[in-house]
């Protein structure tokens, strides 16, 4: 068997995490300066934890408990992304299509080698880059510096820190020599910071993330939120497949490891 030697490319794993960050962890009704400081502190802490986990996994073979915890974390991320994607389909497109081809998607994720996700990741990165540029162009004229100094609603002080299982599973998913996984918390912090600043500059406070897309306007089209949401939905489907492959990989590698121990 050759599948257990396959590994994800950094581009595939990074796109998966960025897709999750685009839907999670945007502070609601939190002052901008406070959100930025808390985001920076949480980013540093997560980078340190990720580096420690990567160092520990590089030095020795992970135990059953560690592998089970990482597998459970990846599975929970899969379920969470599926719920988010289906909720978006139902709310924005009045469609249940995702549930219709979900069995095929899960089967493909279970069968595909990890390395095969690298090619679609490169294509989707271009869609994300173009979508981000289009979004920025449509919001630029609506941004005002005074919004950065607006006070948030005093009744809410919640601040969420996005934590994903991929932070700690990079050596197992991308190879033990891969060190770029430590940068994953930095990428999610950048996404969170961009969303927070965008909300403040356009609205003067934070609203649900979709409101920022609904405010898009370039003078020719009044709204482009459906197209931008469709880009995220495509990336979410990609993330579901990647997580399904990751869960299969960890379970398969553990089974192979136990067979070797029994033979010895």
Residues 118-128 pLDDT 10s: 999 999 999 99
Rounded Cα–Cα distance for residues 58 and 73 (Å):
19
Instruction: Write the CB contacts of 156 (distance below 8 Å, at least 6 apart in sequence).
Output: 28, 29, 30
Cβ pair 214, 223 in contact under 8 A: yes
Cβ pair 148, 207 in contact under 8 A: no
Backbone conformation region of residue 25, classed left if phi is above 0, alpha if psi is from -120 to 50, else beta: left
Q: Which of 219, 207, 210 is nearest to 93 (CA)?
A: 210
Cβ pair 105, 240 in contact under 8 A: yes
- What mean pLDDT comes out for the span 13-30? 80
Q: Is 64 exposed, middle or buried (0-12, 13-18, 19+ CB in 10 A)?
A: exposed
Kindly report the average pLDDT of the chain as a whole number. Answer: 79
Residue 105 CA neighbour count, 13 Å, CB half: 18
- pLDDT value for 120: 93
Where is average pLDDT lowest: 1-15, 75-89, 183-197? 1-15
Rounded Cα–Cα distance for residues 49 and 29 (Å):
28
Between vectors from CA 32 to CA 26 and to CA 35, what angle results, nearest 5°? 55
Instruction: Write the CB contacts of 23 (distance below 8 Å, at least 6 apart in sequence).
Output: 84, 209, 232, 236
Q: Kindly tell me if the per-residue pLDDT of 160 is higher than 80.
A: no
Q: Is 255 exposed, middle or buried (0-12, 13-18, 19+ CB in 10 A)?
A: exposed
For residue 53, give both structure tokens: 């986990």
Tell me the pTM.
0.84
Q: Kindly tell me if the per-residue pLDDT of 239 is higher than 90.
A: yes
DSSP code at position 161: -
Rounded Cα–Cα distance for residues 173 and 164 (Å):
14
Highest-pLDDT range among 109-123, 152-166, 184-198: 109-123
Q: Which of 26, 80, 16 is nearest to 232 (CA)?
A: 16
The residue written with tokens 């006070």 in the block is 151
């Amino acid at each position: 068997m050759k599948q257990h030697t396959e590994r994800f490319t950094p581009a595939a794993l990074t796109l998966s995490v960025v897709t999750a960050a685009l839907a999670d962890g945007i502070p609601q009704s939190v002052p901008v300066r406070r959100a930025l400081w808390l985001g920076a502190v949480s980013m540093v802490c997560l980078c340190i934890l990720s580096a420690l986990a990567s160092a520990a996994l590089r030095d020795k073979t992970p135990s059953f408990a560690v592998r089970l915890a990482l597998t459970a974390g990846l599975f929970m991320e899969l379920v969470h992304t599926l719920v988010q994607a289906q909720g978006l389909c139902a709310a924005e497109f009045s469609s249940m299509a995702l549930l219709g081809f979900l069995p095929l998607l899960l089967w493909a994720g279970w069968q595909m080698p990890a390395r095969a996700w690298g090619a679609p990741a490169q294509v989707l990165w271009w869609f994300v880059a173009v979508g981000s540029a289009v979004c920025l162009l449509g919001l630029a004229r609506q941004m005002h510096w005074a919004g950065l100094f607006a006070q948030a609603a005093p009744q809410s002080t919640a601040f969420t820190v996005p934590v994903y299982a991929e932070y700690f599973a990079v050596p197992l998913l991308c190879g033990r020599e891969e060190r770029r996984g430590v940068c994953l918390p930095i990428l999610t912090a950048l996404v969170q910071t961009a969303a927070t600043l965008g909300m403040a500059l356009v609205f003067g406070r934070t609203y649900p993330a979709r409101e920022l897309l609904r405010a898009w306007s370039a003078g020719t089209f009044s709204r482009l939120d459906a197209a931008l949401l469709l880009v995220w939905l495509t990336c979410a489907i990609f993330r579901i497949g990647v997580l399904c492959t990751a869960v299969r990989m960890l379970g398969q590698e553990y089974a192979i490891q136990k067979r070797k121990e029994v033979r010895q």
